[in-house]
Structure 1
Amino acid sequence: MTTPSPATVCIVGAGPAGLYAADALIRKRPDARIDMLDRLPTPFGLVRAGVAPDHQGTKAIVRQFARTLGRPGVRFLGHVAVGRDVTLAELRDAYDAVILATGAPEDRRLGIPGEDLAGVYGSGAFVGWYNGHPDHAGLAPRLTGPGVAVVGNGNVALDIARVLAKTPAEMTGADLTADAARTIAAAPLTDIHILGRRGPLEASFTPAELAEMGTLTRAVPVVDPAALPDAAGAWDDPKEQALKDKTLEILRGLAARPAASAAPVRVHFHFRVAPLAVLGADGAVTGLRLARTRVEDGRAVVTEETTDLPVATVVSAIGYRCAALAGAPLDDRGVVANTDGTVAPGLFVVGWSKRGPSGVIPTNRADSMAVAGRVLAWLDAQAAGKPGPDALDRLLVARGVRAVSREDWDRLDAAEVARGAAAGRPREKFTSVAAMLAALDAAPGAPDTAATQTADA
């Protein structure tokens, strides 16, 4: 009797959504062969490059993800980019199922005059810079001070403000890159402004992140008591009610703090303001023009009342979009067009690529498990037999692609940790693909030969 061929699955993207999907699949189909591709040599996606460097507790989830990568049947192939090294069509031909888990890496633009001036950055690029993402490590942001505006009322906006406001001593134990640490420490910042289009109850930051702003050594939060409502109002969802009550409680506590005029750094919370234009001179930012808003039916409506905020840097933290990929069109929301995670027969999508940039890391677990269920149903209805990894390996060898294995990543991980230990940090990241591949060549256990593809910096 012929033994049935194991199902083959390719997951494009080795971040949280993809790893949760891989774990769900391999638990139900332990005989499956699952390849996880990532365009970078490193796994873990936004846990590595998006979570704030001083939130090491959150980043500890990589230990769970590392166990998934180490499970029999799961293979990591880093430095393999779909669209550059292999096409989506080729993957669909080679595997029984393909799952897109590529996230939403592109910053949404403000869409206002002046946003192309020097000193304006999207939060994805800015956070990627201080987290050492190869796409953004060379950003060299203009932090000439004394003012910085962060547009957005979510946790990312708070992360940016907090990282800029903290002292070097407060960043001890963080994996902030050496370049970012030097730049931020030298920046003559005195006023950081966090701007929200709607009111404090519509803000999307979590209470834990908000409360953290009141614990900083040299920075003092500034909240106008008049901007806060008397009560959080009535919400249908008890969890939402508790969240709003806690948010208002924390904001009231921050507003009641002593005057912050003498503090070295002040973090101002502005509610019901919308950016109208970035002001500049000689090609660089000098200010941000704001309009007062009023909230009607949950939407911010711009009024004619304006004010100019003197800042030299503007960081927009207003969301992200997916990157276009041939064979996976985006819908009008900027995500891969799908129905409950199904894009086309045998093609699926999870995470931010599926639903947009919302939720925290664990939010992806339930989403990925639900889509994994649909993938399993698809596999059960098909006659497995596509070659999967064998076909991909032949393509990569023929094209001279240097794929980075999990064992390679383990060596790279060890090298980063060793570099960090010398500087008193959890790790010192390699911030270019070229440096990562060079480190692999120099690391103990490196192969005698390597593929010939030129690394992208």
Structure 2
Amino acid sequence: MLRVAVIGSGPSGVYTAQSLVEQEIVPDIEVYVLDRLPCPYGLVRYGVAPDHEKIKSLQNNLRTVLEHPRVRFVGNVEAGAPGLGVEELREIFDAVVFCVGAATDRHLGIPGEDLPGSHPATDFVAWYSAHPDAAATRFALTARSAVVIGVGNVAVDVARMLSRAAAELAATDMPQGPLGALADSRVEDVWMVGRRGPSQAKFTTKELRELGSLPGTEVLVRPEELALDPAYRDPAGLPAVARRNVEVLRGWAERPNGGGAPVGRRRRIHLRFFLRPVEMLGDAGGVRAVRFERTAPDGSGGVTGTGRFEEIEGQLVLRSVGYRGTPQPGLPFDEATGTVPHTAGRVLAEGAPLPGVYVAGWIKRGPTGVIGTNRPCAKETAQSLLADAATLAGRATAGDPVAALARAGQRPVLWPGWLAIEAAEAEWGQGLGRGTVKLPDWAGLLAAAQAADTSR
């Protein structure tokens, strides 16, 4: 029997487990999917916006894998905690695959970045997604103007959530606190700003178009900024997504009256390009504006500063300029890329494979691609592990993995515990006159899980 621990139950972890159990090379294999949280699905549960129900339904596919007879979900287990480092994990499991994602935001590195009111966009996402680590986070949304720095899908999600009416979100699983804050929101203007042009923006066309269909919200685009992009007039040579993005933006820019907001519009989303943040302005009371430098294409796909500056008012600033992996205890780490060095998923320590230790997902390749990109990435790692199976099987010495994890000081939540959390969330939502509503804190999640039959 080959026992494998997969650390992380998001798409990369679940796809790795799926690749391991749905093959015939090594039939005697058990996969234990460990997660620091008592809930599975990673960013599908805690990163996908609550109004994106189709994407969130991917949980059903991940669920099928986690219910496979040779896969066990083991939540509330923190790999890397004292007593559960790589060496201890290798005593419990024959092989360990780290699928831990990219846990931190990139920094802008500009003056004023840490002023009150300036936050990583992921803090805002964690808040409205009810991540238990964000239980103490509060966004009062008293700002009249909000600035979102970045032009990727997370930035679009954040701009959309700031612009949606609370009534439109009541049918989602958003917790009561954020729903109430959105109902009381005073935000009128949302500025989404990128340092490069529209043809280089990282959002997908479907996400972009959604901004134009929000009730009571007008999207404003400046034709003169779009025209700075060399590909704007003739986007035919662009990749399909970038070409469609440019076409959508051109349509908005060419509306009568410059796309100005009709009377009665509640909110405005301003899409700005070729502006690089250089300073956040404010004081101990909070941020009040962001100072940007106008940029221009440099002819090589980048931009250069022009020495011309502009301030955009914003009492709330959300920074969405990318993710970065963090060092994992006991593993080598490449600070330049924010990833663990590897060859085809085999972790490399001083240039040589670290026996029985693997990576998949963002910690392997960096924060790139969409959810589906994790499938081939996970498959490659699984194939490497299976090729090594003859040298791995039987190396673990700690006996039953769940019991060994408990002896290491963990309090594992198994699949029945997760099902009990699901039931508690459905019951709570029903009591609020809504559908399922997420439990927003560790205490509530663990209390629900502990009420379950944990015999599986």
Provide closer, same or farther for how the CA distance between residues 404 and 398 of structure 1 changes in structure 2, counting only shifts above 3 A. Answer: same
Does the 8 Å contact 2:406/2:412 carry over to 1? Answer: no
Query: How far apart, CA to CA, are the structure 2 residues paired with 1:193 and 1:224?
Result: 12
> Partner amino acid for 1:419?
W
Q: Show the counterpart of 2:189.
A: 191
Q: 1:370: Cα distance to partner?
A: 1.6
Q: Show the counterpart of 2:213.
A: 215
User: Within 5 A, what are the aligned runs for 1:94-113?
Assistant: 94-113=92-111
Alignment counterpart, residue 151 of structure 2, candidates 138, 150, 153: 153
Q: 1:309: Cα distance to partner?
A: 1.0
Cα offsets for 1:187-238 (capped at 9, x unmatched): 2111000010100000011110011111011111000122224434454xxx
Query: How far apart, CA to CA, are the structure 2 residues paired with 1:383 and 1:366?
Result: 23
> Partner amino acid for 1:200?
P
Q: Show the counterpart of 1:372.
A: 382
Query: How far apart, CA to CA, are the structure 1 residues paired with 2:140 and 2:290?
Result: 15
Cα offsets for 1:118-167 (capped at 9, x unmatched): 11111221111110111123221252211100010101000000011011
Q: Which runs of 5+ in 2 are unaligned?
A: 348-353
1:166 aligns with 2:169: no
Q: 1:424: Cα distance to partner?
A: 4.9
Q: 1:66: Cα distance to partner?
A: 0.8
User: Within 5 A, what are the aligned runs for 1:106-255?
Assistant: 106-229=104-227, 230-233=232-235, 235=237, 241-255=239-253
1:307 aligns with 2:310: yes
Q: 1:93: Cα distance to partner?
A: 3.2
Does the 8 Å contact 2:97/2:360 carry over to 1? Answer: yes
How many residues of Structure 1 are paired with residues of Structure 2 in the alignment?
436
Does the 8 Å contact 1:119/1:142 carry over to 2? Answer: no
Q: 1:175: Cα distance to partner?
A: 1.9
Query: How far apart, CA to CA, are the structure 2 residues paired with 1:139 and 1:303?
Result: 38
Query: How far apart, CA to CA, are the structure 1 residues paired with 2:35 and 2:41?
Result: 9
Provide closer, same or farther for how the CA distance between residues 264 and 389 of structure 1 changes in structure 2, counting only shifts above 3 A. Answer: farther
Does the 8 Å contact 1:232/1:248 carry over to 2? Answer: no
Secondary structure of 2:96's counterpart equals strand
Q: 1:97: Cα distance to partner?
A: 1.4
Cα offsets for 1:157-182 (capped at 9, x unmatched): 00000011011222243222211111
Secondary structure of 1:382's counterpart equals helix
Provide closer, same or farther for how the CA distance between residues 225 and 92 of structure 1 changes in structure 2, counting only shifts above 3 A. Answer: same
Does the 8 Å contact 1:279/1:286 carry over to 2? Answer: yes
Query: How far apart, CA to CA, are the structure 2 residues paired with 1:52 and 1:30?
Result: 38
Secondary structure of 1:8's counterpart equals strand
1:415 aligns with 2:424: yes
1:46 aligns with 2:56: no
Secondary structure of 2:413's counterpart equals coil
Does the 8 Å contact 1:105/1:124 carry over to 2? Answer: no
Q: 1:310: Cα distance to partner?
A: 1.0
Alignment counterpart, residue 346 of structure 2, candidates 342, 351, 356: 342
Q: 1:383: Cα distance to partner?
A: 5.4
Runs of 4+ in 1 over 6 A off after TM superposition: none
Q: 1:394: Cα distance to partner?
A: 4.0
1:330 aligns with 2:333: yes
Provide closer, same or farther for how the CA distance between residues 30 and 220 of structure 1 changes in structure 2, counting only shifts above 3 A. Answer: farther
Query: How far apart, CA to CA, are the structure 2 residues paired with 1:50 and 1:93?
Result: 33
> Partner amino acid for 1:374?
S
Query: How far apart, CA to CA, are the structure 2 residues paired with 1:411 and 1:420?
Result: 14
Please, what TM-score do these two structures have when normalized by structure 2?
0.91
Does the 8 Å contact 1:146/1:312 carry over to 2? Answer: yes
Please, what TM-score do these two structures have when normalized by structure 1?
0.91
Does the 8 Å contact 1:38/1:79 carry over to 2? Answer: yes
Query: How far apart, CA to CA, are the structure 2 residues paired with 1:125 and 1:105?
Result: 11
Q: 1:283: Cα distance to partner?
A: 3.6
Provide closer, same or farther for how the CA distance between residues 356 and 425 of structure 1 changes in structure 2, counting only shifts above 3 A. Answer: farther
Query: How far apart, CA to CA, are the structure 1 residues paired with 2:439 and 2:170?
Result: 19
Cα offsets for 1:69-90 (capped at 9, x unmatched): 1111111110000122611221
Query: How far apart, CA to CA, are the structure 2 residues paired with 1:302 and 1:13?
Result: 41
> Partner amino acid for 2:315?
A
Does the 8 Å contact 1:322/1:335 carry over to 2? Answer: yes
1:402 aligns with 2:399: no
- Higher mean alpha-carbon deviation, 30-39 vs 418-427, is at 418-427
Alignment counterpart, residue 9 of structure 2, candidates 14, 34, 44: 14
Secondary structure of 1:407's counterpart equals helix
Q: Show the counterpart of 1:61.
A: 58
Secondary structure of 2:386's counterpart equals helix
CA RMSD in angstroms, aligned pairs only: 1.9
